[in-house]
Amino acid sequence: MSTETSDATKAQQTWKPPPDGSPCWVEIPARDTERLKAFYGAIFPSWEWRPAQSAEDQSKVQHYSFAEPKGLTGGIVQMPEGCAPTEQSMGSGMTVYYSVDSLDMMEKRIHECGGSTCLGRSTEGHGWFMNFRDPEGNRFGCYQFRSS
């Protein structure tokens, strides 16, 4: 048995679900899962990528885990056939915000990787935030906390 398999089996045996109401999965819809895996892998190098359960699943879901909080996972998921892409307008739907050290550096990296800015830098009590779109139009936010 490989170390990767035994580590995965051990983690699965000791895993406990998060408390009620905790985020447990962040799903990003995609027409091209490999393309978005490359995009998010480039802008968030702390994400850990995991193999799918089967070869069939690998083309449909690119699994990842966040560095913190431990246990929070997600997937870039193949959109169903015939499902047209939509653009989530500002003020509608839910937005996931990712903590970053520098909004300026993140904006530059996002643009270099094919993403775009849809809401410029805004100030909020504990820092600043911006909203972006990935290469397939999914909106997400980044948040830079003020230094103590």
Task: Write out the chain's pLDDT in tens, 148 residues.
Answer: 444 455 556 655 676 777 767 778 899 999 899 999 999 999 999 999 988 776 667 678 999 999 888 778 899 998 888 877 677 777 777 889 999 999 999 999 999 999 999 999 999 889 999 999 999 999 999 999 998 4
Alpha-carbon span 31 to 81, nearest angstrom: 9
104's tokens: 């300026």
pLDDT value of residue 6: 56
Residue 56's pLDDT is 63
Q: What are phi and psi of 35, to 5 degrees?
A: -60, -45
As a whole number of angstroms, the distance between CA 133 and CA 114 comes to: 9
Residue 55 confidence (pLDDT) = 67
Q: What is the pLDDT of residue 2?
A: 47
CA–CA dist 145, 148 (Å, integer): 9
